[in-house]
Structure 1
């Protein structure tokens, strides 16, 4: 038994529970050890199956203008300057929205950003498909670039570690 405490003693008496050493934390694992422990399974495959169409949509947003320009040149009577602007305006939208998307991803959540961003990009693509003038097409291509740069960055950030598992 322990001795009686004095009234001014701030420490409680030691019992069998207090005499044990605290459990030691395991050493931190490096990236390869963590990936090996996580394993590769159906979740990883389904994640990549869902990510590939979204990534393809982003690539199409930035690269299809070169396929559209020959027919749009005749239909919209595009000048050389108009064709150059149409090729570059998607990238202007991507550059102008980079900081905003980074802030929104960190404050509003990455899942929400993926859903809202790709939905907004879908609306911009449909608007560009139905546009009847050069100015309308430029506005929708700019907005498409603005809307899709954030979700694509988040998609690549989220799916990157899972894609690494496929290579191991």
Structure 2
């Protein structure tokens, strides 16, 4: 990325420290905004709109999205990818941390229908005091009311109890 684009994508230079705004870092979740007990949390869009990136950069983001969602069965994956495509214009990408080989980092791909977070963590039970590339946490959440399928469950319950 050129320096101007990188300046928009990289929202913080370091994985922790005094530059962090309140509520942006949690001891257990670290940089994750969609971690444990954060069901349906309102998370701000950060970074850059992916539509403003060059086509090769957008293709790389699609690779990250598919990597993050590859646990889904093929039909569910295809449906989720189609849903993300519908909201591509409203999808954002941000980065925190290093950019070199072996550096620890965090990224978030966030649209109205999917939030994927990747983070290198410090140790809780491990002894690494700094985030290291061998200690990875990832999250995939569905924002806007259907986290953990709650909206689907509500529809089902309304139908069966009506």
Superposition TM-score, scaled by structure 2 size: 0.25
Q: 1 or 2 for the larger relative contact order (CA 8 Å, sep ≥6)? A: 1
* Larger relative strand fraction: 2
* Larger relative helix fraction: 1
